[in-house]
Structure 1
């Protein structure tokens, strides 16, 4: 399999991870925000799904290529995660999927209709592969995480801005939102998935739950 460490930089090449049934391509966009966009391709059917059309539609569409794009999932409503959504959807006709409480804000900010809203336990398919939706409230009301259980390996999570190496996402000094976020992350992510679970955040480097688990108590005490 192709070596993959998740290290990408805006303007630099994408990183590709080959699983048995799913190809994961990670691209960093916008030097200031350094958002990650992830293109998932089912190796059986060729169907493709994009997680966060964050910026730089030409680069994203170059990655999509001639294979078409079935779905764009927006992990949450913040502006830096959907700046390219209108252009990508206009070029591909992809279905737009958003966490239910964030859908109205995404439509208002982008002018793009949301085709499907999702919440805890829903499934989003990319070809023969299934992504399970985990709602993680706090960074925004409708933030979602996507989980893929690799039948030939471990679980993979796309966490948006809810979980990063080194802590949970920013709740901007809102103590109640932080409590909700850290509770959801501890219960729905660390309480469910094993240490070998690899996660892909909305910005920066990837990590595993095993690397981060020892720090949960410190994160809770620190707040954000």
Structure 2
């Protein structure tokens, strides 16, 4: 089956099969959050991005192999409702951006800064710190050596624009960060957002001037 990135709460997961990495996308909770389970093909080690809600569903997706780590993209509550239960069940190490960790009520084992590498088995993900949606949001970039990059953007970038900000300064900061750290990637870079369908940088890039002009 071809990966579409379209999932619904209570529906089946969708799996993006890359040469070195399997990416399983599932939607959970009343806010229709996306959670992503990454599995290194060489080692079978797994990492979860955003234990957002519905621990039972997430643990079912994780399966008997468990997870080594869970990354929380940012401090907003809809992205960590199941974190405590998932960590208790799996013993996973927790990762979060340095400037958002204090807003997450589960202790963060590893504070993540811009440019840090987060590993799942033999696969490396590079963290990009983006300020504006929250002070410490992080995106994770997997630069697939066999293809194009794959970017997990949390709530910083969606189809149709950047994530929500509450004032012009935060909007400008988020847009500056996206243009400096994310949009230099090629058009083929696949975007996995915190809610909704996936997109590519090529689909979004032409609209940057319009986003700047509208201010959101």
TM more than 0.5: yes
Q: Equivalences for 1:180-191 in 2 at 5 Å?
A: 180-190=173-183
Pick from 133, 153, 159 the counterpart of residue 165 of structure 1: 159
Structure 1 residue 66 displacement after superposition:
1.1
Q: 2:205 aligns with which of 213, 216, 221?
A: 213
Shift of 1:68: 1.5
Match of 1:222 in 2: 214
Q: Tell me, which stretches of 5 or more residues in structure 1 are unaligned?
A: none
Mapped to 2, the partners of 1:119 and 1:221 lie a distance apart of 30
Q: In structure 2, the residue corresponding to 1:67 is in which secondary structure?
A: coil
**Shift of residue 151 of structure 1?**
1.2
Aligned-pair distance for 1:223?
Answer: 1.3
Match of 2:136 in 1: 142
> Equivalent residue for 2:145?
151
Residue 76 of structure 1 aligns to a residue whose secondary structure is coil
Trace 1:51-70 onto structure 2 (pairs within 5 A).
51-70=49-68
Alignment partner, residue 186 of structure 2: 194
The answer to whether the aligner puts 1:17 opposite 2:16 as a matched pair is: yes
What is the alpha-carbon root mean square deviation over aligned residues?
0.7
Question: How high is the TM-score relative to the length of structure 1?
Answer: 0.95
Q: Which residue of 1 aligns with 2:28?
A: 29
Using the alignment, how far apart are the partners of 2:61 and 2:27 within structure 1? Answer: 12
Matched position secondary structure for 1:220? helix
Judging by fraction of residues, say which structure has more helix: 1
What is the number of equivalent residue pairs in this alignment?
216
| Structure 2 partner of 1:99 | 97
CA distance in 2, matches of 1:44, 1:78: 33
Asked if 1:204 corresponds to 2:192, the answer is: no
Task: Report the Cα offset of residue 119 of structure 1.
Answer: 1.2
User: Which residue of 169, 174, 191 maps to 1:176?
Assistant: 169
Give the structure-2-normalised TM-score: 0.99
What SS does the aligned partner of 1:101 have? coil
Separation (CA, whole Å) in 1 of partners of 2:182 and 2:55: 31
User: Can you list the C-alpha shifts for 1:6-64, whole angstroms capped at 9, x where unaligned?
Assistant: 0000110000010001000000012x311000000000000000000000000100111
How far did 1:197 drift? 0.3
Q: Which runs of 5+ in 2 are unaligned?
A: none
**Equivalence for 2:112:** 118
CA distance in 2: counterparts of 1:59 and 1:181, whole angstroms: 32
User: Which residue does 2:74 correspond to in 1?
Assistant: 76
CA-to-aligned-CA distance 1:146-187 (integer Å, 9 cap, x gap): 000111110000000000000000002x11111100111111
Aligned partners of 2:215, 2:87: CA distance in 1, in Å? 37
